[in-house]
Amino acid sequence: MSAKRVSYFEASARARVAALVDPGSFTEFCPPAQRRTSPHLAQLDAPVAFDDGVVVGAATVDGKPVLIAAQEGQFNGGAVGEVHGAKIRGLLERAARERPAAVLLLVDSGGVRLHEANAGLIAISEIMRALMAAQAAGVPVFALVGGACGAFGGMGIVTRLCDEVIMSEEGRLGLSGPEVIETVKGVGEFDSRDRSLVWRVTGGKLRRGLGEATRLVDDDASAFRAAAVAALTHHRNAPADLASLKAAQAALTERRATHPDTRDGLEVWRTLGLAQPEAVPMLASDEFNRQLDALATEV
Amino acid sequence: MERFEITLDARPAGAARRSTLCGVVASGNLEVLVELGQDPAACTVEVSTSADGFRDIWEAVLADFAERHPAGGLRISINDAGATPAVVSLRLAQAFEDSAGGAA
């Protein structure tokens, strides 16, 4: 191992794609030169991006063909506008036709782009439908979450539809973001400036502990790649038929009973039986995974 | 938003160049798209910036770029979200360097 560690958190969408796929294997669809920019942002006289904040294309990972989308969190918070959403939807529809080994969604998004209102909302629902159609065609979809914007709003739901969710502790997953909750319900409900609390409630370790994330990795692009490679070999399947959906629903009901009135990740660690709950946030992912796996085998 | 296009006299880029995109449209940052143009002795630059009223400074920064780099034959397109002149210079240099990267 001689290569310098590349922080997935800090990398741009294009740098993430480059670090994940086999060198030289990436072909971009709708590349920047085609200038498929947002008509809505132009109408509002706001800056546009040539790729509308998402990179989509085909590549190989460990020699296996994949389709891949990477959201750029720095452009409007990775938010989904009409063009941005259409690119992801088109990629997933292509997956249903071409049947690659998997689709990788590199999610880094606050959700719908509010400038585009209904067009963004419709785009999200189209992505969800296309994602499930790809899964129904036998193509697994993996979400990778480790950017500054995390996976929130509609993209939080899209992430939870995926077969595998690969996260770092730095990545966050939720529906309403911390600032939204504080704005609506007050600081007593959730203090969005308490960064430690924000990560204990939305971060990768909690999501992994609750089973929403399937793999927890360090903030390292090569660790994300290794997890994607492993998932290509063996992956969980999202609930697809009625029986498995009912089982998932029952598991969620049971979870609510196991963790009643929980307001902090620390309480979850304690309930799960981790020896030192307060030490969990600083654990390296390997050690955290080891402790979690040890608990699973005890039961 | 302010939009304008500038054509600069520039030494021919010569060696094989490829299309490339550098940077991200984020506050204080910009993206620079490099493509191949028609005239090997000129570099065209299309600027779209969120900061109105700075065309003079853009022209100075771009002239400086054309002086430092053989950018002739390149067509450059910029989406800017309020980057400082230093950031613009660095991003242009990065995009120029990247456009020489291999035959891909």
Spatial separation of the C-alpha atoms in residues A25 and A136, rounded to whole Å: 27
Write down the domain spans for chain A.
13-238, 240-299
Digit-coded pLDDT (tens) for B10-43: 999 877 788 999 999 999 999 999 999 989 999 9
Least confident of A65-69, A153-157, A272-276: A272-276
- Whether the pLDDT of residue B103 is over 50: the answer is no
Looking at residue A240, its pLDDT comes to 87
How many CA atoms lie less than 13 Å away from B63 in the CB half-sphere? 6
Q: Over pLDDT 70: what percentage of chain A?
A: 99
Of B21, B26, B49, the CB nearest to A50: B21
Under a CB-based contact definition with an 8 Å cutoff, are residues A213 and A167 in contact? yes
- Whether the pLDDT of residue A184 is over 50: the answer is yes
Q: Does A296 touch chain B (CB under 8 A)?
A: no
For residues A56-70, average pLDDT: 98
Spatial separation of the C-alpha atoms in residues A16 and A18, rounded to whole Å: 5
C-beta atoms of B50 and A49 within 8 A: no
CA-based nearest distance A46→chain B, Å = 7
CATH number at B30 reads: 3.30.230
Find the Cα–Cα–Cα–Cα dihedral B83, B86, B87, B90, rounded to 10°. Answer: 150
Spatial separation of the C-alpha atoms in residues A114 and A81, rounded to whole Å: 8
- Whether the pLDDT of residue B102 is over 90: the answer is no
Contacting residues of A for B25, CB less than 8 Å apart: 47-49, 53, 74-75
Spatial separation of the C-alpha atoms in residues A110 and A105, rounded to whole Å: 15
C-beta atoms of A75 and B33 within 8 A: no
Contacting residues of A for B26, CB less than 8 Å apart: 74-75
Optimal mutation site among B3, B22, B24, B35, interface A, most CBs of chain A within 10 A: B24
Under a CB-based contact definition with an 8 Å cutoff, are residues A171 and A214 in contact? no
Predicted-complex ipTM score: 0.93
State the CB neighbour count (10 A cutoff) for residue A106: 29
- Whether the pLDDT of residue A28 is over 70: the answer is yes
CA-based nearest distance A144→chain B, Å = 20
Going A51 to B97 to A61 to A3, the CA torsion angle's sign is negative
Contacting residues of A for B19, CB less than 8 Å apart: 31, 33
Q: For B76-94, give one letter per residue: b (16+ CB within 10 A) or e.
A: bbbbbbebeeebbbebbee
C-beta atoms of B33 and A46 within 8 A: no
For residues B81-104, average pLDDT: 89
Looking at residue A269, its pLDDT comes to 94
Looking at residue A2, its pLDDT comes to 54
- The H-or-E segment that residue A55 falls in is strand A54-61
Q: Over pLDDT 90: what percentage of chain A?
A: 95
Q: Band of the pLDDT at A299, cuts 50, 70, 90? A: low
| Residues near A6 by beta carbon (within 8 Å), at least 6 away in sequence | A15, A19, A220, A221, A222
Spatial separation of the C-alpha atoms in residues A67 and A105, rounded to whole Å: 9
Of A31, A49, A72, the CB nearest to B79: A49
Q: What are phi and psi of A9, to 5 degrees?
A: -55, -45
Residue of chain B minimizing CA distance to A25: B104
Q: At what angle do helices A221-233 and A13-20 cross, to 10 degrees?
A: 50
Spatial separation of the C-alpha atoms in residues A114 and A96, rounded to whole Å: 29
Residue of chain A minimizing CA distance to B52: A45
Residue of chain B minimizing CA distance to A42: B1
Q: Does B16 touch chain A (CB under 8 A)?
A: no
Looking at residue B16, its pLDDT comes to 79
Optimal mutation site among A74, A76, A83, A113, interface B, most CBs of chain B within 10 A: A74
Of A32, A45, A75, the CB nearest to B21: A32
The number of distinct structural domains making up chain B is 1
Digit-coded pLDDT (tens) for A36-46: 999 999 999 99
Residue of chain A minimizing CA distance to B48: A47
Optimal mutation site among B19, B21, B99, interface A, most CBs of chain A within 10 A: B21
Domain that holds residue B23: 2-98
Task: Please report whether residue B65 resides in a domain.
Answer: yes
Looking at residue B14, its pLDDT comes to 76
Q: Which 8-state DSSP code applies to residue A114?
A: G
Task: Please report whether residue B103 resides in a domain.
Answer: no
Q: Does A184 touch chain B (CB under 8 A)?
A: no
Digit-coded pLDDT (tens) for A204-239: 999 999 999 999 999 999 999 999 999 999 999 999
Task: Please report whether residue B16 resides in a domain.
Answer: yes
Looking at residue A57, its pLDDT comes to 98
Task: Please report whether residue B81 resides in a domain.
Answer: yes
The structure tokens listed for B20 are 């490339």
C-beta atoms of A47 and B24 within 8 A: no
For residues A268-290, average pLDDT: 94
Under a CB-based contact definition with an 8 Å cutoff, are residues B74 and B45 in contact? no
Spatial separation of the C-alpha atoms in residues A160 and A136, rounded to whole Å: 16
| Residues near A252 by beta carbon (within 8 Å), at least 6 away in sequence | none
Looking at residue B13, its pLDDT comes to 85
Number of H helices, E strands in chain A: 12, 7
Q: Does B101 touch chain A (CB under 8 A)?
A: no
Mean pLDDT computed over every residue of chain A: 95
C-beta atoms of B33 and A48 within 8 A: no
Task: Please report whether residue B104 resides in a domain.
Answer: no
In the stretch 17-56 of chain A, residues with CB closer than 8 A to chain B read: 24, 31-33, 35, 45-51, 53
Comparison of pLDDT for A3 and A247, the residue scoring more: A247
Rg (CA), chain B: 13
In CATH terms, A13-238 corresponds, of 2.40.50.140, 3.90.226.10, 3.40.50.2300, 3.40.30.10, to: 3.90.226.10
